[in-house]
Amino acid sequence: MQETINRAPEQSGETAKQRVSIYQPEQEGLIYPELPTFSTHAEHRQHLKERLVAACRAFALQGFDYGFAGHLTVRDPEFPDLYWTNPMCVHFSQVKVSNLILADHEGKVVEGQYAINRAGFVLHAAVHEAHPDIVAMCHAHTTYGTAFAALGKPLDPISQDAAAFYED
């Protein structure tokens, strides 16, 4: 049995400029997710903290947790010179909204009970301070990446990611 595919006709006068994205479905009735909006800083902060925890859990699932040498940060929406980060020596799989740390550019804990990896935080603080458009960043020591780095060999340009370092 052959299925019939109904396609919605393009709306008259619609141009690419009127669409939110080139990927926005043109068929009527399909959902096209949009970025969330927030009415308060507290609501936005909670959303970002939940996403930070989700990112930590995703890193844990991929084995990107290596002792205390991994950290993720997200800029606070109300106080852009402060950053939320995961606590030091807490496995990525155990990070919760309740144990996140709020710190300043110097790595001083502003809110939270846990310590942070101050040496690692310097990296994040420098990037966040130099680039106010960057909202979040991560640094991790993956099992395979650490093992490969120990070999002291350059990356072969066998993928588009590795090719970025070719003859550099």
Query: Please, which residues have CB within 8 angstroms of residue 69's CB and are 6 or more apart in sequence?
Result: 117, 120, 140, 141
For the chain, give the percent of residues with pLDDT over 70: 78
List, for residues 85-111, the tens digit of each pLDDT value: 999 999 999 999 999 999 998 889 999
pLDDT number for residue 21: 58
> Is residue 60 assigned to a domain?
yes
Assigned domain for 76 exists: yes
DSSP 8: P
Q: Is residue 12 part of a domain?
A: no
What is the pTM assigned to this prediction?
Answer: 0.73
- pLDDT for 1 beyond 50: no
The CATH number assigned to the domain holding 87 equals 3.40.225.10
Decide if 71 is inside a domain. Answer: yes
Is residue 5 domain-resident?
Answer: no
Provide the Cα torsion 135, 139, 144, 150; round to 10°: 140
pLDDT level of residue 137 (50, 70, 90 thresholds): very high
Q: Which domain holds residue 128?
A: 41-150
Q: What's the domain count of the chain?
A: 1
**Residues 74/44, Cβ–Cβ less than 8 Å:** no
Q: Classify residue 35: in a domain, yes or no.
A: no
What is the pLDDT, as a whole number, of residue 53? 98
pLDDT grade for 151, boundaries at 50, 70 and 90: very high
Q: Which of helix, strand or coil describes residue 65?
A: coil
Q: Is residue 155 part of a domain?
A: no
